[in-house]
Chains A and B, each alone.
Chain A
Amino acid sequence: MMFSFWEIFFFTINTLILAYGISITLAYLILAALSQYELRKYIQRNHFTDFRNILSSPLTPGISLIAPAYNEGLTIIDNVKSLMSIMYNNYEIIIINDGSKDDTLNKMIEAFNLVIVPFDLQYTIATKPVRGIYKSQNRAFKKLTVVDKENGGKADALNVGLNVSKKDLVACIDVDCIIEPDALLKMVKPFLESTKPVIASGGVVRIANSCIVEDGRLVEVKLPQIQIARFQVLEYIRAFLLGRMAWSKLNGLLLISGAFGLFKRDIAVKCGGYNHNTVGEDMELVVRMRVYMHKHNFPYKVTYIPDPLCWTEAPASYQILGRQRNRWARGTFEVLKLHRYLFFNPKYGLMGLVSYPFWFFFEWLAPFVEFSGLLYFLTLACIGKINWIFFFAITLAVYAFAFFISMFSLFSEETSYYKYTQKRDIIKMIGTALIEPLWFHPRVVWWGLKGNFDLIKGKKSWGEMSRQGFVQYKKKNELVR
C-alpha cells in the first residue's frame, strides 16, 4: 500500500499535536494530584505549629525585607508602616528608592525623621551608585533603612538591598504588596525544620482587588467585582495551589514570584545577585542559585509555602494585563535562553531533566503550539479536510478538561484556605471557569506570542543599546590586599 506525501504529512502533524496534548494533560493531572497530596500534608502538619514560638525565640535567623520603590510617593508611607507591623523578632526593612522622579524619598524623610548616615557600603555586587543611606532618628523606627540610589531598574535596586543587608536571609518583596503580619513566621519555618539546607522559599501571591484594605493591612477578603480580575484569581489559585506545591515536593521549583520570596543571602550574593539584563529576574535568580548549588555539589532545597501571605492588586484592564503578560513571556524566554545548557542535562538532576523541559515545552512553547495548531486547523478547514464530528468531540474533551482542572483548584482552595466565603462567590467562580477557556485564554496565548516576537524584534534594534546606559560601578574594595 502506498501513502501520498500529504497523507504522511498530515499523519505526522496530527500525531505530534496529539502526543503534545496528551502529555501536557497528563503532566497537569500528575502535578495537580501531587500538589493536593502535599497541600493536605502541609496543612495537617501546621495544625501542630504554634508560629508564635518563632516570634519570641532568639534562635531564629535575621531577615532583611528588601523593597524597591519607584515613584510610589502616594502610598509609600502606608506601605512602610504596614511592613513595620509584621510579626517577627529579628528583622529590618530596607527600602530602596530607585531614583524616583516624585517625592517618594522626601515623604519618607519627613514621616520617619530620617537622617543621612555614613554607612560604609560595599559594592559586593556591582550596582548603580548609591546617593545616600538614611536611618531614623526615632528609635521606634530603628528597623528601617532607606537607600537612595540612581535609577537602575528593579533587579539593580534589589542588588543594592543585598549589599546593604547583613542578615542571614533576605525577603525580596514588591513594596505595594500587602504582606500578612505572620508572613515571615510562616516563610521562615522551612529554613528551620528541614534537614537539608533550604536556599530559598517562595510564597503564594493572591489577588487583592475589591478586598478591604485599611492602613496597608488586609481587613476582609472579597472576590473581585470585575470579571478580568476574577479570571486572574482562578489563574493564580490554579498556578499556586495546583502547580508550585508539586514542584516544591519534587524539589524542582524554578520560579519564586518576585512579589514575595525569601532567600539565603550569602548564596544569592555569591551567585552575583539579580541579573538586570532580563525582565524575568525573579526566576533567573532561583535558577542561578540552583545551578550554583549543583556545581558545588551542595545538597539543597527550594521550598514553597501555600498559605496566602501576599496580596497584590491585579491589572484591571486588558491593556495593562497584556503588558504584564508580554513581560512575563519575555522573561521566561530570556531565562530559558540564558540557561539553555540545562535542557535535558543529567548533571543538573531533576532541574535539568524535568523542570527545565517542562518550562520549555509547556510554558514557553505552549502559545506557539496553540497558535500554529489554530492556523493548521483553519487551513485544513479551508481545503475541507476536517472530520467535523471528531473536531467537536475533541474540542469538547479539551474544554471539559480545562473546566475540570479549574474545579479541582477551587476544590483545593475550598478544603485548604477557604478565603472566598460567600455563597455567591462559588457560583461566580464556576461561571468564570466556564467562560475562561473561550474568552480569557486566547488572549493569554496572544500576549505570550507577542512577548516572544517583541523580544526577537527588540534584540536587533535596541537590546544591546539599553545595556550601554548601565555604568559598571565598583568601589575599590580590593583596597586591602
Chain B
Amino acid sequence: MGYKAKFKVWRGDAEGGDLQDFTVEVNEGEVVLDVIHRLQATQAPDMAVRWNCKAGKCGSCSAEINGRPRLMCMTRMSVFSEDETVTVTPMRTFPVIRDLVTDVSYNYEKAREVPAFAPPEGVAPGEYRMEQVDVERSQEFRKCIECFLCQNTCHVVRDHEDNKTNFSGPRFLMRIAELDMHPLDAHENRAQEAKTDHGLGFCNITKCCTEVCPEHIKITDNALIPMKERVADHYYDPILRLFKRTNK
C-alpha cells in the first residue's frame, strides 16, 4: 500500500531558490497536499504552502505539479507511477513569497476594477424574479473558486509581465461576462469595458484557462467568446457602423 515517493519541491523566496529533493512516504488514496503536509511534519517544518479546505472548494493550494497548474488537494498520488519523481513548484505568473506561496495580489487588484453588480432601480429586496434558465449562465461562472490557475496559465500574462497592467485575465473577464449575463444587472456597457478597460482583445482563445480550471468551467467557450462577439457587434458590425456614420 504505502511506498516511498521521490519529490522535488521548489524552496526559496523572492531572492531566489531551487528544487530540493525529498523521499517521503505515500499512503493509499493520498493527494499531493497530504505529502507536502507530511514533509512539513517530518522533514521541513517551515516549508511554506497555502491551503485551506483540502476539498477543492476554496482554491488556496494552487501550484504547478510536474509543470501543470493544479490544485494540490485534488491531485491524487495515484495519477503518478511509484517510480516517478513528482515536482512541485509555485505558480509561475505571480511573484514568489516563499516556497510554494506566491503573491496573488494582482488578482485582487483586478477584481476591484470590475464595476460591481448594479441593483435594478425600483425593485425591492425580495421582489427579484428570475428564471432558472436565465440564471444558469452566470451561475456556471460563479462556480469559480478563485484558485487563479487560469490567470497563472494564461500566456498573455504568464509570458509578458507588462500585460498585467492592461489585461485582467480570464477570471475577471469571466466575471464581467457573469455580470453581463446577470438577468437584473443595471450596469450598462460591460462588453465595451471588457475591451477598453480589461484587455479582452489580448485573449486569442487558446483555451488554456478552460483546460486548467478545476471546476471545469468553460471559460473560453461560454464567457470569453460570447463577450468577444458582443464587442464585435458593438464595434465592428458593418450595418451598425453605417448607421452610426449616417447619424453623425
A and B: real partners? Answer: no
Contacts from B to A (Cβ < 8 Å): none
Listed in ascending order, the chain A residues whose CB lies under 8 Å from chain B are none
